Amino acid sequence: MTRQYRTWTHVQNRNWPDAPFMGRYVHLVVEREKPFEAARPNAALDEYRKAYPQGRYLADVQLLRAGVAVDAGDYPLALRLLCSALADENHKELHMDAALALAQCFELLHDPEPRLALAKAIAADPAAWDRFTAFTHSASCGQRLRVYENWVSSLKK
């Protein structure tokens, strides 16, 4: 159910002149097959957790829940779950999906509508701030977010 709504996030490599600068540039592509509604995917994830409280795929479920949270605009939850997935050494197979979802979340700073809520959530979460600054200094589309670093930092309490 959740994958029907979120489908997949992947990267595409771009080269000049399609890239904003010379050299390799990584561009995030997010595809959605249906309009997003958080209630149905969250209900499906809740059902799984209820049926299998010690289930083998709980880490996968948390990653799917993080994606739902990103799409629903619950950035504190999304950042907490995504950073937790990236820190989980027992589930390294999920790290690429978690990293792509986190990058997609950070890229939402380019959108004026969620910008303030997302920036506050990044500023309030030390793990998210560390991941954000690493992303903005990477050889990727994250470099475009570097202009927001001082502003997001100023929102820290």
For 118-133, what is the mean pLDDT? 98
Q: Which of 151, 63, 147 is nearest to 105 (CA)?
A: 63
Residue 28: its H or E element: strand 25-31
Whole-model pTM: value is: 0.80
pLDDT for 22 equals 54
3-state DSSP assignment of residue 52 = coil
Is residue 35 predicted with pLDDT exceeding 90?
no
pLDDT for 27 equals 60
d(CA 121, CA 129): 9
d(CA 111, CA 148): 12
Judge whether 21 and 60 are in contact, CB under 8 Å: no
pLDDT band at 136 (very low <50, low <70, confident <90, very high): very high
pLDDT band at 1 (very low <50, low <70, confident <90, very high): very low
Higher pLDDT, 157 or 64: 64
For 20-34, what is the mean pLDDT? 59
Is residue 17 predicted with pLDDT exceeding 80?
no
For 90-107, what is the mean pLDDT? 93
For 79-95, what is the mean pLDDT? 97
pLDDT tens, position by position, 65-85: 998 999 889 999 999 999 999
pLDDT for 24 equals 60
> Given phi > 0 = left and psi -120 to 50 = alpha, else beta, which region is 73?
left
